């Protein structure tokens, strides 16, 4: 097995490790770094549960190798809330709209919405809803999730057609 030294910043903390070349970023984050909010569902990039933010972009961490993240800045769901416990706006919107059921899909949904809403200006409801189409909720809790996305877009009644 080939081993590689990597350094990456996770939620503002520098992590250095030696990893096998085949180790996925999701497994690194969960097992080696202890960020268990990164959920691993399908391991094929389909379900979205493993979504994290890498250098500002939402990515499926099961499709990225840990060595590919060398030097990157990564945010997981554990890194979104403020130090005082104040929820990130995406987390608050999901809470307000009762968009949580079993919670397995929630971290990935949160990270996708957080990446899209972090820039200047509000993304459209259509943009957020299209991004959510890449997430599978096993509980079928989509209505609350959709309402939260619409709230984040500033369109509580739904997108204009």
Do residues 104 and 52 both lie within one domain?
no
Residue 35 banded pLDDT, cuts 50, 70, 90 = very high
Output the pLDDT for position 53: 98
In a domain, 55, yes or no: yes
Long-range contacts of 120-124 (CB under 8 A, 24+ apart): 122/152, 122/153, 122/154, 123/152, 123/153, 124/153, 124/159
Average pLDDT, the chain: 93
Q: What is the share, in percent, of the chain residues with pLDDT greater than 70? A: 96
Residue 66 banded pLDDT, cuts 50, 70, 90 = very high
Output the pLDDT for position 160: 54
Domain count along the chain:
2
Whether the model pTM is above 0.75: yes
- pLDDT (tens digit per residue) in 87-103: 999 999 999 999 988 88
Q: What is the share, in percent, of the chain residues with pLDDT greater than 90? A: 84
Do residues 22 and 61 both lie within one domain?
yes
Output the pLDDT for position 11: 98
CA distances from 46 to 23, 62, 161 (A): 19, 10, 28
For the cut 80, the answer to whether the pLDDT of residue 108 exceeds it is: yes
| Torsion sign over Cα 141, 93, 8, 14 | negative
Domain hosting 142: range is 89-153
Do residues 62 and 107 both lie within one domain?
no
- pLDDT (tens digit per residue) in 1-20: 799 999 999 999 999 999 99
Which of 78, 113, 135 is the last residue before a domain boundary? Answer: 78
């Amino acid at each position: 097995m080939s081993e590689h030294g990597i350094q990456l910043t996770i939620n503002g903390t520098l992590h250095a490790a030696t990893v096998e070349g085949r180790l996925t970023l999701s497994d690194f984050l969960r097992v080696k770094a202890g960020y268990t909010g990164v959920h691993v569902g399908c391991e094929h990039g389909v379900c979205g549960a493993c979504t994290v933010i890498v250098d500002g972009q939402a990515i499926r961490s099961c499709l990225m190798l840990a060595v590919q993240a060398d030097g990157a800045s990564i945010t997981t769901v554990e890194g979104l809330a403020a130090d005082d416990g104040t929820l990130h706006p995406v987390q608050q919107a999901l809470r307000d709209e009762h968009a949580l059921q079993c919670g397995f899909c929630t971290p990935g949904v949160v990270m996708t919405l957080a990446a899209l809403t972090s820039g200047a200006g509000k993304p459209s409801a259509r943009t957020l809803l299209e991004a959510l189409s890449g997430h599978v909720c096993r509980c079928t809790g989509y209505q609350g999730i959709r309402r939260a996305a619409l709230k984040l877009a500033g369109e509580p009644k739904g997108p204009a057609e």
